Amino acid sequence: MGGRVIRRKIVNTDSINDVFNAFKTSKKAIGTSLKTLQSYEYHIKAFFKFVDPSLSINQIEYSDIENWIAKLRTKNVKDTTIASYVRSLKSFFSWAKQRDYTDLVIKIYKAEAPPKEIYSDEELKLTARPTRKDCSFSEFRNYVMVCFFLSTGCRAGTIRSIQCGDIDFDNNLVYFRHMKSANSKKSNSIHSVPLSTTTKHLLLEYIKYRNGNTDEWLFCTEKNGQFSERGLQQAIKDYNSSKGVTRSSIHAFRHTFAKKFLLDCGGNAFTLQKLLGHSTLDMTLQYCTIFNADLQRNFDNFNPLEFMMRKQPKKIVLEKYKNNS
């Protein structure tokens, strides 16, 4: 006869603020990226404006989360922003539950994915090569960076951390040592991406012009230093503006790379996942979903039935049709 399962009630008097500090220490210990830690700090502190952080974590109920979300919605906070808040809160409470601080489970807040910002073909006149004799080092560097973004789909944080020695011209590869998530499983790994022929030749020319050592930053400032996040954004904004393009989002280059790879170049999601460095295929499939309006283009070229029919002699098909009529 089976015994009745009794659910253990977790009793913990630690304040939610103290538990959050322990959470941050734990995340730092496993190598969570600074940017992710800053997101946790910003999002959880936003929740602390709604609930008293000195309360015991066991006093927090799911109704508190729902009331907080409702309040954010009344303030016209974007659904995607709320989803980010709740995602951080879910990570925090999941960690706390694993360590018996609480038994509260946070549900994912589903928000409709906004359209991915991309550069139009007209805006991609940014890739028009400037005349080396008539442009400064910074202009040529920015031009090469724009081409590099469009050729690799890398993030801003990645390009800032590439050193001259990370380019393997013999094997046509570039090694990315900085990725978005730097957890214990990924911190010692190096992500490699192929170099296209055009990108390879462009980098050869740029490195000769730049004249840097293997341990120096590939795309450096005028003082040979590493770009800050804001400095890189400003450099791209100035370059785009000089070409008559008002759009200046660096991440839009990544979206543009993904869309063109899937739709214009006939690439597949599995290869795109590797190129973008996504940890799961689900993240990559978001691009496929968002860009599905364009999937009809050249669909016959990649359709299995159309492929088989092209290999089958048309005369035989017609004869079978006549015999059945």
71 with 127, same domain: the answer is no
pLDDT tens digits, one per residue of 124-169: 988 888 888 888 999 999 999 999 999 999 999 999 999 999 999 9
Query: Which of 56, 165, 106 is closest to 177 using CA atoms?
Result: 165
Range with lowest mean pLDDT among 27-31, 236-240, 256-260, 300-304:
300-304
Structural domain contains residue 315: no
187 close to 175: Cβ distance less than 8 angstroms: no
pLDDT tens digits, one per residue of 269-299: 888 888 888 877 777 777 776 665 355 555 6
Distances (CA, A) of 21 to 50, 112, 133, 151, 167: 18, 32, 55, 41, 40
Mean pLDDT of the chain: 84
pLDDT tens digits, one per residue of 229-259: 999 999 999 999 999 999 999 999 999 998 8
130 with 83, same domain: the answer is no
Beta strand pairing call for 167-168 and 173-176: antiparallel
60 with 174, same domain: the answer is no
Structural domain contains residue 134: yes
Full-model pTM: 0.68
Domains of the chain: total: 2
Helix or strand (DSSP H, E) at 284? helix 281-290
Domain span at residue 48 reads 16-98
Rounded Cα distance between 199 and 154, Å, is: 13
314: Cα separation from own chain's centroid? 46
